């Protein structure tokens, strides 16, 4: 079939590279080299829009730097495949270095893991799958390339589109291309952030007995955290390991003052069988006797692997990749946004999640190719 290329006559796109849509590894390298730290996704969003907008089988909508491309085949079910365009800040690790050759070839650099491999796969498949008449898959498809995933939740492009045009993201099953080392990771844990605050009475540190030290009072808060034994909870067959951690602590006014306030910022990652309310109640119980203020909360997502489309997806992917059974996603991901809409969602993409955000972020090229092939087989029933 014909590989669509970047149209050269778009008026607003000077000096765009010709994207290698026929080679997902090269495509990954190319879009990694278009720097797109959160807030700076425009150039990459323009490139993606430039690829997809001319294609007859897709209806393309742009919302800020999010590009949504949908088929309208009138199928009974719709699958959403979403990947974010942004990365955490570059750490001197761009442009991408290609290390090694053949099957062991690796891409090193920002975004190679989180998550331009997954995004490249989705972009290549969006352009290809269903482009030829008579070869449309069994499900309608919605491809989403979105901005601001790596920063504060209220900036998230997927969240913004859900608020602005929820119908654009409607579907029966969703796949997020976040790195999972090519396995299927179901659902995700919820996350809750609270400030545990102690109060004292300020005093000169040479006359400390006239005050009361709020930092000393935080000893008990930290002791409870250190002694806390998190639970492992099985939800719909997948095991979620909960975590309760101080992620920040601040206190102190000056080098000669007994401080009157200390704030321990605590992050609780909880199994998706708990609601946010349950999580808040649990944390309040752990820190009973202390002032607890909720600053941020997002529910988890149950894996939802018992629905028909999800079961088909898992079966197809495992067959194509030889990967093990699905496991639980421990980190919060945007699957929870779909879950909140009642859309079961999984994470599936190339790259070791433990390398995400690291200076030595890198991915094995063959893993990108394997994930691409597996998704292609699932969507089209054909091997390339």
Query: Is residue 108 within 8 Å of residue 362, measured between CB atoms?
Result: yes
Instruction: Give the residue with the Cβ less far from a second copy, 59 or 220.
Output: 220
184 φψ region: left (φ > 0), alpha (ψ -120 to 50), beta (else): beta
d(CA 42, CA 360): 25
CB nearer to a second copy: give 257 or 316.
257
Nearest-CA neighbor of 159 among 350, 340, 24? 340
| Cβ 351 to a second copy shortest distance, Å | 14
Q: Is 86 a catalytic residue?
A: yes
Q: What are the structure tokens assigned to 18, written together?
A: 């010709």
Catalytic residue among 46, 49, 86, 140: 86
Backbone angles phi, psi at 219, to 5 degrees: -55, -45
Residue from 65, 136, 149, 369 carrying the catalytic annotation: 149
Helix H, strand E, coil C: the string for 145-182 is: EECCCCCCHHHCHHHHHHHHCHHHHCCCEEEECCCCCC
CA pair distance 233, 85, nearest whole angstrom? 32
Q: Based on CB atoms, which residue is closest to a second copy, 6 or 330?
A: 330
For the CB of residue 158, give the shortest distance to a second copy in the complex, in Å: 18
Cβ atoms within 10 A of the Cβ of 100, count? 12
| Min separation Cβ 18 and a second copy, Å | 36
* Minimum CB distance to a second copy, residue 55 (Å): 37
Q: Which is nearer to a second copy, 86 or 172 (CB)?
A: 86
The residue behind tokens 């944390």 is 283
Closest contact distance (angstroms) between CB of 223 and a second copy is: 4
Residues at the interface with a second copy (CB under 8 A): 189, 191, 193, 204-210, 213, 215-219, 222-223, 225-226, 230, 241, 243, 245-259, 262, 264-265, 267, 269, 296, 330-332, 354
Contact 85, 41 (CB under 8 A): yes
Q: Which is nearer to a second copy, 142 or 333 (CB)?
A: 333
- Active-site residue, 149 included: yes
- Give catalytic residue positions: 86, 149
């Amino acid at each position: 079939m014909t590989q669509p290329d970047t149209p050269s006559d778009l008026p607003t796109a000077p000096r765009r590279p010709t994207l290698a849509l026929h080679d997902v590894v090269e495509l990954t390298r190319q879009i990694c080299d278009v720097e797109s730290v959160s807030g700076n996704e425009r150039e990459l969003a323009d490139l993606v829009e430039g690829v997809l907008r001319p294609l007859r089988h897709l209806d393309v909508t742009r919302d800020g730097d999010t590009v949504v491309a949908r088929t309208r085949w009138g199928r009974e079910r719709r699958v959403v495949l979403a990947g974010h365009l942004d990365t955490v800040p570059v750490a001197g690790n761009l442009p991408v270095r290609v290390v090694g050759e053949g099957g062991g070839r690796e891409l090193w650099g920002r975004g190679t893991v989180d998550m331009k491999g997954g995004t490249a796969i989705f972009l290549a498949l969006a352009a290809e799958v269903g482009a030829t008449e008579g070869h449309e898959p069994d499900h309608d498809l919605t491809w989403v390339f979105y901005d601001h995933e790596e920063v504060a939740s209220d900036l998230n492009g997927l969240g913004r589109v859900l608020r602005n045009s929820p119908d654009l993201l409607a579907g029966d099953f969703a796949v997020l291309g976040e790195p999972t080392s090519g396995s299927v990771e179901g659902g995700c844990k919820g996350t809750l952030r609270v400030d545990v605050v102690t109060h004292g009475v300020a005093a000169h540190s040479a006359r400390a007995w006239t005050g009361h030290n709020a930092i000393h009072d935080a000893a008990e808060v930290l002791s409870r955290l250190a002694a806390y034994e998190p639970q492992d909870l099985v939800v719909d067959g997948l095991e979620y390991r909960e975590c309760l951690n101080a992620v920040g602590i601040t206190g102190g006014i000056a080098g000669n003052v007994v401080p009157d306030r200390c704030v321990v910022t605590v992050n609780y990652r909880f199994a998706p069988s708990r609601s946010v309310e349950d999580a808040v109640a649990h944390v309040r119980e752990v820190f009973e006797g202390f002032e607890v203020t909720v600053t941020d909360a997002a529910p988890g997502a149950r894996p939802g692997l018992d629905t028909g489309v999800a079961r088909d997806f898992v079966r197809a992917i495992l067959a194509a990749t030889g990967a093990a059974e699905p496991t639980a996603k421990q980190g919060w991901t945007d699957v929870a946004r779909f879950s909140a809409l009642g859309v079961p969602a999984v994470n599936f993409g190339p790259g070791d999640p433990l390398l995400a955000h690291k200076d030595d972020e890198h991915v094995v090229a063959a893993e990108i190719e394997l994930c691409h092939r597996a998704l292609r087989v699932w969507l089209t029933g054909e091997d390339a």
